[in-house]
Structure formats: structure tokens, C-alpha cells
Homo-oligomer: A and B are copies of this chain.
Amino acid sequence: MQLTEYLKEKKQLINQQLELYVRDYSVPGRLQDSILHSVHAGGKRLRPILLLATAQAFEVQEEKVLGVASALEMVHTYSLIHDDLPAMDNDDLRRGKPTNHKRFDEATAILAGDALLTLSMQVIAEDPHLSDSERIYLIQELSKASGAKGMVEGQMQDMLSENVEVSLEKLENIHKNKTGQLLKFSILTGAYLGGVTDKVLTEMIKMAEALGLIFQIQDDILDITGDASVIGKPTGSDEGNHKSTYPQLLGLEGAIDQKEKYVQRALENLKNANIEGSTLSQLIQYLSIRDH
């Protein structure tokens, strides 16, 4: 299957699942409407797709990972709703649509985020395709990745770094927490449920770390060179917000070189894990050149 076909098919699958879960775990009304607004706002569903692709590479049945892939996207969606709030990044548009608090109001957006985070844990805890020990392992890892030593701490550090000159080391640390940990969770989950050896797991974790940085560097590059109508939000916002970025610290060419270095590393990790022929290797290259 072509990668574009693959991406389209899996995105639809995840969208269906998300809609089913939200309708099942909430009651009709304003809160549900607001959750569905953000869930329908779409996005590429990269995290769940990476999870599905990793699971496939290690021969895990798709139905076994659909629940946790949806839970992961719920955590990502909740974090976007809260990050867009006026008190945080104050964004009016997300993927070309009004952000949750613009379409509804701030209180509703805060609650929609809270509900999605709670729901993500419930989805894993009730997943009939997973054993109790698998559910527990995944909840442990997801809460670590998204909590006060992971994503939430990354967002805090990101906010504290606005209008402040930060080193490349500090910048990478922020991204590792803010973006990298959830990406790592997607890869880790596929490998864990595939019952891989410790050696393979180590390679996959390294791959996931490289992938997180590829993702972020390309994000920074797109903020400079991208087309706002393709990305679905205004470009140039990093400079406007005085955020440190890779192009700013390394120059645009330097950032591109750095990204290419991580791509080579990630592909090497896949080779060491004996899955260099999998869809994951196409995904790595796609992520490094994506235009939105």
C-alpha cells in the first residue's frame, strides 16, 4: 500500500474509534459537543498511526491496539485544547478551525480537556482486548509520559522559556518532554505488545527519541517556510512569541542538517531492530518532509 493510502485509511479508522468512545463515555449536551468539536477538528493522527505501524511491524493484531491508540490521541487532543487557551498560547485557530474556547468558551474548553484526559485512562482500563497486566503497564507509561515529569512539565518549561534565550540542550529537553514523550509512548506500546527483546526495545526507544526531534525540527522549519493555508494556523508565530527554535539557534540550513542526522539515526535503529522494511521507515521519512 502507498503511504498516502495507508495514512488516509488509518486516520479514518482512528477517527471512527474516537467518535465511538466519546459518544459512549459522555452524555449528549454542551460538554460532549465541545469534546466532539476538538476530536473532529482532525489533525494527522500521527501518534496513533505510529502506534499502529509499530504494532504491525511486530505482528500485533490491530484490534489489540486500537483502544490504546485512541487513548493516546485523546491525551494529545486534551493537551492541544489546554495549550490553546488564552492563559497559555492564546490561539484562535487550530487546524484551520476555531479552537475549543473560541467556539465554546474557556470554562467549557478546560472541562473538555479534563474529560478527555480522564477518558483516555478509562479507555485503557476497560479495553477488552488487553489483559489486566497490559492495561496496567500502559496506564503507567501513559501517565508517566503525560504527567509532571513528562508532557505537562514540558509545557510548563516551554512557557517559562518564552522571551528567554535558551541553549540547544535546554530546547531539546523541553521538546523531549512536551512532544517527545507521547511519541515515544506510541512506539513503546507497539513494541511492548509485540513482546520484543530488551535489545530491540532499546533500539525502538532510541528511534522514538530521534523521531521526536525530527518532528520538532520540522515543526520549527514549517513555522518559517510553511504555507499557513496548508498548516491550518498562522506561520511566524514562534518569532512573534519569542520562542527559541532550531532555525534560530542553528540557522535554517543547520536545522535541516540536524534533522537529516536524526533521520539517518532513526533508520539505523529500525535496521538494528530488524524491521527496516516496515511502514515505520516510510513514516520517518514522511515526518521529516511533511508540509503540515
Contacts and interface: CB of A to CB of B under 8 A. Distances in A.
Interface in A119-169: 119, 121-122, 125-126, 132-133, 135-136, 139-140, 143-144, 146-149, 152-153, 155-157, 159-160
Contact of A31 (B126, B139, B144, B148): B148
Which range holds the interface residue count of chain A?
35 or more
B113 A114 contact: yes
B125 A107 contact: no
A146 B25 CA distance: 12
A118 interface: yes
A125 B139 contact: yes
Contacts of A143: 118-119, 121-122, 125
A87 interface: yes
* Copies of chain A in the complex: 2
Contacts of A118: 117, 143, 146-148, 152
Given A31-B153, A125-B143, A132-B133, A159 B115 contact: no
Most B Cβ at <10 Å: residue of A31, A122, A148 = A148
A-B pairs with lowest CB-CB distance, top 4? A87-B106, A26-B148, A122-B143, A118-B147
Interface of A: 22, 25-27, 29-32, 35, 78, 82, 85, 87-88, 105-108, 110-111, 113-115, 117-119, 121-122, 125-126, 132-133, 135-136, 139-140, 143-144, 146-149, 152-153, 155-157, 159-160
